[in-house]
């Protein structure tokens, strides 16, 4: 166990942080179990599983537990353990053959807690194992819900996302996940902005509608008279046009 760094021995870390809907928080190592868990926490926990195999056949194992709380302020937090040495080696091997690292969560409803109805099936997402390794396990997991609070999708990306083929020497980098967790509900698409437009029109109308001082007829319409005169002159001197084809692309 010489290669195992100290931090592993110190604690089997389970990070937990509460976050609000559409906010996110980093789940760093360094907190003890149950640190952020209140006793009256009405949320529930669902497993977050992951799979990475050299032969690309999915075998999901436990990665951590998602603490979900529905209601008005949907929040989510994640507690996860470190990767074992065996896992680290597998992950590196998978990364070497450009395999995939997959995660899955069961389909649940955040609001429909009374029925406790767990729908069958899982939501799955993946990321290239090499990018996970190269980013030193810094991943961003996003949970998507629909309007009624069902989980509909999960996504995982790593930052940085590229695979440049850089070797990860230090084993420490592959021990604990540095996860950013977000939960996203659908946004409301905008309606036509009629109210604002009408308001603006009214303001413009008012501006325009200010009483002007009385001017004489010529002072008021001199441009029309001038324009008419010019037009009359022009039309009397101009020759008749030769048809539509000429105007066509002018």
Partner 1 sequence: MGRYLSMKPSAKMSKPTSLFVIFFSLFVMSEAVFEDQVGKFDWRQQYVGKTLFAHFDSHSQSSKMLFLATDKNIFASFNSRTGDLIWRHVDKVGPEGTIDILLLHGQDALMVVGDGRLLRSWDTNMGGLNWEAMLDTGSFQAACFVAIQDTVKHVAVLKKAVISLHYLSNGHQKWVENLPDGDAVQYQAVYSGGEEEVYVLGVVPNSHLTIIAYSLEDGEIIKQRSVEAPWLSSVESSCVVVGQGMLMCVDPATLALYTLPIQAEETPQFNQILLQSLDLEVSPSFQPVLVSSQPHPARSPLSEFFLQLGPDHHVLLQLNADGYTIAPLRDFQPAFLVSFATTGEKTVAAVMTPKNETACAINLFSADSGRRLLDTTVIFPLDLNGGKPHKLYVHAFLKKDDSVGYRVLVQTQDHALTFIQQPGRVVWTREEALADVVTMEMVDLPLTGTQAELEGEFGKKADGLFPMVLKRLSSQVTLLQAWLAHLWKLFYEARKPRSQVKNEVTIETLSRDEFNLQKMMVMVTASGKLFGIDSKSGSILWKHYLENVQPNAVFKLIVQRTTAHFPHPPQCTLLIKDKDTGLASLHVFNPIFGRKSHIALPVLPRPILQSLLLPVIDQDYAKVLLLVDDQYKVTAFPSTKNVLQQLQEMSSSIFFYLIRSDQGNLSGFRLRKDLSTERIWEVVLPTEVQKIVAVNGKRPNEHVHSQGRVMGDRSVLYKYLNPNLLAVVTESTDAHPERAFVGMFLIDGVTGRIIHEAVQRKARGPVHFVHSENWVVYEYWNTKSRRNEFSVLELFEGTELYNSTVFSSLDRPHLPQVLQQTYIFPSPITTMEATLTEKGITSRHLLVGLPSGAILSLPKMFLDPRRPEVVTEHSREENLIPYAPEMPIRTEWFINYNQTVARVKGIYTAPSGLESTCLVVAYGLDIYQTRVYPSKQFDVLKDDYDYVLISSVLFALFFATMISKRLAQVKLLNRAWR
User: Which residues of this protein are in contact with partner 1, per CB under 8 A?
Assistant: 56, 58, 98, 100, 102, 104, 107, 119, 121-128, 131, 140, 142, 144, 146-148, 150, 152-153, 155, 157-163, 184-194, 196-197, 200, 243-250
CA distances from 62 to 11, 59, 93, 139, 204 (A): 18, 10, 19, 17, 63
* Alpha carbon distance 126, 58 (integer Å): 11
Q: How far is the CB of 38 from partner 1 (least distance, A)?
A: 30
Residue 18 or 123: the one with the smaller Cβ distance to partner 1 is 123
State the nearest-atom distance from the C-beta of 140 to partner 1, in Å.
7
Q: Is the peptide bond before 160 cis (omega within 30 degrees of 0)?
A: yes
Measured distance CA(142)–CA(75) in Å, rounded: 12
Taken as a whole, the chain contains a residue count of 250
Compute the least distance from the CB of residue 130 to partner 1, in Å.
10
Please state the closest distance from residue 205 (CB atom) to partner 1, in A: 15
Q: State the nearest-atom distance from the C-beta of 222 to partner 1, in Å.
A: 29
CB nearer to partner 1: give 191 or 212: 191
CB 120 within 8 A of CB 107: yes
For partner 1, give the closer residue by CB, 9 or 196. 196
8 Å CB contact between 110 and 134: no
Judged by beta carbon, residue 37 or residue 157, the one nearer partner 1 is 157
């Amino acid at each position: 166990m010489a290669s195992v760094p100290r931090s592993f021995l110190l604690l089997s870390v389970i990070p937990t942080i509460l976050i609000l809907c559409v906010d996110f928080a980093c789940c760093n190592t360094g907190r003890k179990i149950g640190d952020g868990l209140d006793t009256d926490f009405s949320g529930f926990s669902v497993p977050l599983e992951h799979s990475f195999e050299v032969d690309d056949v999915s075998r999901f194992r436990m990665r951590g537990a998602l603490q979900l709380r529905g209601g008005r302020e949907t929040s989510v937090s994640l507690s996860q353990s470190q990767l074992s040495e065996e896992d680290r080696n597998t992950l590196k091997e998978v990364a070497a053959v450009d395999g995939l690292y997959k995660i899955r969560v069961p389909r649940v409803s955040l609001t429909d807690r009374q029925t406790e109805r767990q729908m069958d099936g899982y939501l799955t997402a993946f990321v290239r194992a090499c990018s996970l390794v190269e980013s030193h396990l810094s991943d961003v997991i996003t949970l998507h819900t629909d309007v009624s609070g069902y989980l509909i999708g999960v996504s995982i990306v790593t930052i940085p996302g590229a695979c440049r083929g850089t070797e990860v020497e230090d084993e420490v980098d592959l021990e604990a996940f540095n996860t950013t967790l977000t939960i996203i509900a659908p946004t409301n698409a905008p309606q036509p902005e009629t109210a604002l437009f009408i308001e603006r029109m009214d303001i413009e109308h008012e501006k325009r509608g200010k009483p002007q001082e009385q001017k004489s007829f010529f002072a008021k319409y001199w441009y029309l008279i001038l324009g008419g005169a010019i037009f009359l002159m022009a039309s009397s001197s101009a020759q008749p046009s030769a048809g539509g084809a000429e105007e066509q692309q002018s």
